Amino acid sequence: MLRTNVKLFVYHTPELTPTDHLPDCAVVIDVLRATTTIATVLEAGAEAVQTFSDIDKLIAVSEQWLPEKRIRAGERGGAKVEGFDLGNSPLECPPDTVADKRFFLTTTNGTRALQRVEKASTVITAAMINRQAAVDYIIKNQPETVWLVGSGWEGGYSLEDTVCAGAIAHALIIHDPQMVEVSNDEVIAATALYAQWHDNLLEMFHRSSHGQRLLRLNCHEDLQYCAKSDIIEVLPIQKEPGVL
């Protein structure tokens, strides 16, 4: 039987999530760029994405895969990890690069956020490019509690993650106001931010601190891609801790 209420919470960073309980469904958001890359890689036919916050652990686990069946990708401070195949740009992940391979990914914040909620009953990832897929999943399954968790940057808040959380919350509330119980003030703040920026996400990225960091690394095209809404239908769902 479907529930009448989905208790919806927004947390701006993983550090702000409660530590004594977990939700039925955690939605991890790192628009710039981890969850955009994860959705892109799975849409391009990768066998799975396996995430790590620790570089050495990624190297050790991925050693068990044949080199032609794996990709090691990741960044620190936005720049590619030395010796890895790829950085964390979604634009480097077309089907002919990633299809049928396991994509081993380490990033500064997104993979840490995933780790923080990996024991929730369901963990999915969302970005602007697959926002509607996350919304559809919540509408269809109506988990009792849903946390929208921004990855932030090294413990601080990231504007683009909260705007994406607001985009998801907004779509759920518009779909059926009775279905959603707004359960913390952050939901109201996130939807207000989304209302302010929804028709100019790229400009919002240009103003945000992480957007500016990526612009200094010449990632203009990444920002353009990450600002597109609902272009990908894939919904990354955790199959086991760290594997989507």
CA distance 107 to 52: 8
Q: Which one, 131 or 170, has the nearer CB to ligand 3SL?
A: 131
- Three-state secondary structure call for residue 157: coil
Q: Smallest distance, Å, CB 122 to ligand 3SL?
A: 21
Q: Smallest distance, Å, CB 33 to ligand 3SL?
A: 4
Q: What angle do CA 237, 242, 244 make, to 5 degrees?
A: 30
Structure tokens given for 208:
């945000």
- Three-state secondary structure call for residue 201: helix
CA distance 181 to 235: 23
Q: Smallest distance, Å, CB 226 to ligand 3SL?
A: 9
Give the full edge-to-edge strand order of the sheet including 122-126. Answer: 122-126, 25-29, 145-150, 6-11, 180-182
Q: Which stretches within 63-200 are classed as H helix?
A: 95-98, 110-116, 131-141, 159-175, 185-197
Q: Smallest distance, Å, CB 207 to ligand 3SL?
A: 16
Structure tokens given for 206:
């240009």
Q: What is the 3-state secondary structure (H, E, C) of 62-83?
A: HCCCCHHHEEEEEEECCEECCC
Where is 225: in which H helix or E strand? Answer: helix 220-226
Q: Smallest distance, Å, CB 109 to ligand 3SL?
A: 3
Q: What is the contact surface with ligand 3SL in residues (CB under 6 A)?
A: 30, 32-34, 75, 78, 88, 107-110, 151, 214
Where is 52: in which H helix or E strand? Answer: strand 48-52
CA distances from 210 to 16, 22, 159, 167 (A): 19, 28, 9, 19
Q: Which one, 160 or 180, has the nearer CB to ligand 3SL?
A: 160
Q: Which one, 86 or 172, has the nearer CB to ligand 3SL?
A: 86
Q: Smallest distance, Å, CB 44 to ligand 3SL?
A: 17
Q: Which one, 8 or 75, has the nearer CB to ligand 3SL?
A: 75
Q: Which one, 78 or 166, has the nearer CB to ligand 3SL?
A: 78
Q: Smallest distance, Å, CB 110 to ligand 3SL?
A: 3
Q: Which one, 50 or 151, has the nearer CB to ligand 3SL?
A: 151
Q: Which one, 70 or 112, has the nearer CB to ligand 3SL?
A: 112
